[in-house]
Amino acid sequence: MKGYRDTQADLEEEIGRDVENIMRGNDVRSGRGSAWYDPETGKGSGNTAPARGGCGRTGGGAPNTSRRGGRAGGPQRPQQPGRNAGRNPAPAQRADGRAAQAPAPSARSGGPSLIPGMEDSGIGGPKKRKSEPEPSRTPYVFISYFFVLIFVSLIGYLVYFNVRLKDDVLNSPYNKRQNALAQVVTRGELRSADGTTLAYTKTDEDGEETRVYPEDEMYAHVIGYASNGKSGLESLANYELLTSHYNLIDRIINEFREVKNPGDTVVTTLNHELQEAAYDALGSYDGAVIALDPKTGDCLAMVSKPDFDPNTIEEDWEEIVSDSGNSQLVNRALQGAYPPGSTFKIVTALSYLRTYGDADDFSYDCEGTYTLKGGDEVHCYGGTAHGEEDFTGAFANSCNCAFSEIGLDLSAGQLRETAKSLLFGEKLPIRLNYRKSSFSLEDSSSDFKLVQTAFGQGDTLISPYYIALLASAVANDGVVMQTNLIDHIETADGDFVSEPKRKEYKRILSSEEAEELKELMEAVVTDGTGGKLDGEDYYAACKTGSAEYVKADGELGTHSWFVGFAGEDEDDIGLVVAVIAENGGSGSGTALPIAKQVFEAYY
């Protein structure tokens, strides 16, 4: 008798059939003593009872003697009719005489298997695995945010650079790009707002370039120079002067011909008529004159003496820099540091009004001398006794004695706080080099130091530009404008290129404070030291000052100060002028007449 499925072909056929049944989901759990059964067809071997517990016995308890089915959990071969019939008991019978069907696969089995141990190995059915925790996303989130932060920071810096730093970098003398531009562009012209040429480049037959300044010394500091370094507008507008927006076709032709293109023209805010009037009015005095439009911030004139000739700056350089006594290269309008004298009474008056609300109850009887408890004395200019004064009268007469009393009514802290709010020691709104004003008064300072500071002596130092800004705020409803020196840029043949925006810099006074200070300065003209401006065809308000200083020889000298504004009327103020005449004596005697000439040139 042929052996039971002992050929390789039979084994492969059997395995194929079992796999098919697995795919159809019809297998039952295999075990020792279990029989093959197909639930769909109802066919199977003679032993249809499933194995229980894998104990190696059939459902009826008889031992399984099949030579390939004796292993626990292994697949059982189907019984063929007529073969090995005596080895296995008959199928289990139900009460009605029919054979019992094999039960469905156990839920514990996890599915059918072909090979013993498949339940545990996962072969032939799903294996229940322990769940693994998902990896943390925190590092990736952190890295993403980090790169987003870098990107946003870069964008922010680019915006800041273009708004705040671009012009300084482009015009920096350390910017090598300027040297490259100078190889292909002829430096452009500088002109006044009314069309006067202030600087241009002359090229000879050999291609040698010479910078020419037609007005010689008049604009020396504000226009500056372009050799031996750069200063003034020559430095401020350097990039614009070396940039060409000339006709595109002509530029291309010039490049092929290896001819330089003409640089753009920088039209300044300077008014030639005012500049000439200020220069002539200052005369032989060392000092400065500066004129501003309070509404726009435009600088209309800027004069500083002693001066130099920018046409011969290279030849005169060694002599100029070795003459430390005159400091010819210093722009005194912006970089001068002078005691403010009575012009500082604008600050003291404001501090008093802020502290007490008004000055209606103030009264003082000036005898020309004020004696402090320690015996120190203060004198009005020239020893003048002003008699009975109210607050406005004390300001109009520039009474040192009355302002000594006002200073003692204030504390050092109150005066210091007011000065700081008015830009003392703070950044100022101009792109040329300047010197910050300084204010030195401590809480521990003596009463004598306090009263000296209150009427403009002590250790306080200001520039003409600073006091002009303060007067501009008074004239412009308390607002300081950004100071402009460039009106617009145009091409060499006159086409418009660009212009800077006029913008507010900072409000330093309330509208009410500006109006109160304006009224005090009007009283200086109508009833005080500024009487020389009274009765003119234009409205004027001012403050004069006389500031004592120690000369190089140890003797006392007096600087002459003026700051004021004028207009068609008090609601249409168009010009602020500040004047310092070194060792010029009283403000009303020297500085005021200089300013008056500037006003008359404008109105």
Residues 93-127 as b/e (b if ≥16 CB within 10 A, e otherwise) read eeeeeeeeebeebeeebbbbbbebebbeeeebbee
| Contact call for residues 364 and 383 (beta carbons, < 8 A) | no
**171 located within any domain:** no
Instruction: Write out pLDDT tens, residues 464-501.
Output: 999 999 999 999 999 999 999 999 999 999 999 999 99
Q: What is the pLDDT of residue 461?
A: 97
Q: Is 22 strand, coil or helix?
A: helix
Whether residue 371 sits in one domain with residue 257: no
* Rounded Cα gap, residues 139 and 118, in angstroms: 41
Q: Are residues 502 and 366 in the same domain?
A: yes
Mark whether 12 and 107 lie in a shared domain: yes
Bridge partner residues of 338 (DSSP): 462
Q: Helices 345-356 & 400-409, crossing angle to 10 degrees?
A: 40
Half-sphere exposure (CA, 13 Å, Cβ side) for 402? Answer: 28
In this structure, the answer to whether residues 225 and 350 fall within a common structural domain is no
* Residue 212 identity: V
130: Cβ contacts below 8 Å, ≥ 6 apart: none
Strand partners, 389: 364
- Residue 183 confidence (pLDDT): 85
Same domain for 304 and 244? Answer: no
For residue 249, what pLDDT is reported?
85
Structure confidence at residue 139 (pLDDT): 78
**509 and 435, same domain (yes or no):** yes
Is 165 domain-assigned?
no
| Residue segments in the chain with a per-residue pLDDT below the cut of 50 | 1-5, 28-34, 46-125
* Residue ranges of E strands in 264-307: 265-268, 287-292, 299-305
153 is a domain residue: no
Q: Is residue 157 part of a domain?
A: no
Give every CB contact of residue 241 below 8 A, 6+ residues apart in sequence. Answer: 187, 188, 190, 234, 263, 264, 266
Q: Which of 234, 268, 302 is the last residue of a domain?
A: 268
Q: 371-396: per-residue pLDDT in tens? A: 998 899 999 998 999 999 999 999 99
Are residues 291 and 321 in contact, defined by beta-carbon separation less than 8 angstroms? no
DSSP SS3 for 562: strand
Q: Same domain for 377 and 503?
A: yes
Residue 202, domain member (yes or no): yes
Same domain, 449 and 350: yes
Q: What values do phi and psi take at 143, rounded to 5?
A: -65, -40
Alpha carbons 434 and 525: distance in angstroms, whole number: 30
**Partners of 388 in beta bridges:** 365
Nearest alpha carbon to residue 372 among 450, 440, 444, 445: 450
Q: For the chain, what is the domain count?
A: 3
Q: Is 467:340 a contact under the CB 8 Å cutoff?
A: yes
CA neighbor of 471 nearest in space, from 587, 350, 360, 339: 350
Q: In this structure, are 250 and 391 located in the same domain?
A: no
CATH number where 249 lies? 3.90.1310.10
Provide the token pair at 474: 């008074």
On whether both 114 and 219 belong to a single domain, the answer is no
Question: Do 374 and 260 belong together in one domain?
Answer: no
Q: Is residue 150 part of a domain?
A: no
Structure tokens at 603: 């109105």
Closest-CA residue to 299 (of 472, 65, 175) = 472
Distances in Å between the alpha carbon of 354 and those of 14, 348, 417, 512?
109, 10, 11, 11
Contact 56, 34 (CB under 8 A): no
Answer yes or no: is 250 within a domain: yes
Same domain? For 367 and 498 the reply is: yes
What CATH number is associated with residue 459? Answer: 3.40.710.10
Rg (CA), the chain: 50
Residues of the domain holding 73: 1-80+94-124
Q: Are 517 and 346 in contact (CB under 8 A)?
A: yes
Residue 129 lies in a domain: no
